Amino acid sequence: MTKIIDGTNGVLGRIASLAAKEALKGEHVAVINCENIIITGSWKNIREKYESKRRKVGSGQLGPKVSRDIIKIVKRTVRGMLPNARLGGRGKEALGRVKCYKGVPKEFDGKKMILSEKNKVVKSISIKDISK
């Protein structure tokens, strides 16, 4: 059975930690509505952080490639919550059990979902805005 996490207006770190925790337990996890997940903090600082990471790639500097794809941003955040997800072992197996989707796929339509906590956040930016 797959646990479904709805990302609408949820905070990225909280959703990622919840998905990682369930995956480590051995559950299959689907994060839906990834484009509506928010990142808390100053809009200017968050945007600047992601843009500076993207600028490093072509400049001859070594470092990670930061994708603009919404699903890859969420998946990478989940990977950061797992132990040794790059090297192998249980973290890598758990990451394989996590799937991220834009919108709601037909297979999960009408099923019971885990709703992310709706907190009153003053400063935030959507992942959709970062990926542009």
First to last CA, the chain: 34
Per-residue pLDDT band for 59 (boundaries 50, 70, 90) equals low
Residues 6+ apart with CB under 8 A from 72: none
Q: Across the chain, what does the average pLDDT equal?
A: 85
C-alpha closest to that of 131 among 56, 41, 47, 5: 47
Where do the domains of the chain lie? 2-130
pLDDT score at 131:
80
pLDDT at 118 over 70: no
Look at residue 91 in the predicted model and tell me its pLDDT.
Answer: 92
* Res. 55: pLDDT tops 80: no
pLDDT band at 19 (very low <50, low <70, confident <90, very high): very high
The 3-state DSSP class for residue 114 equals strand
Q: Give the CATH fold of the 2-130 domain.
A: Ribosomal Protein L13p; Chain: A; (3.90.1180)
Q: Given a cut of 80, is residue 70 above it in pLDDT?
A: yes
- pLDDT for residue 116: 64
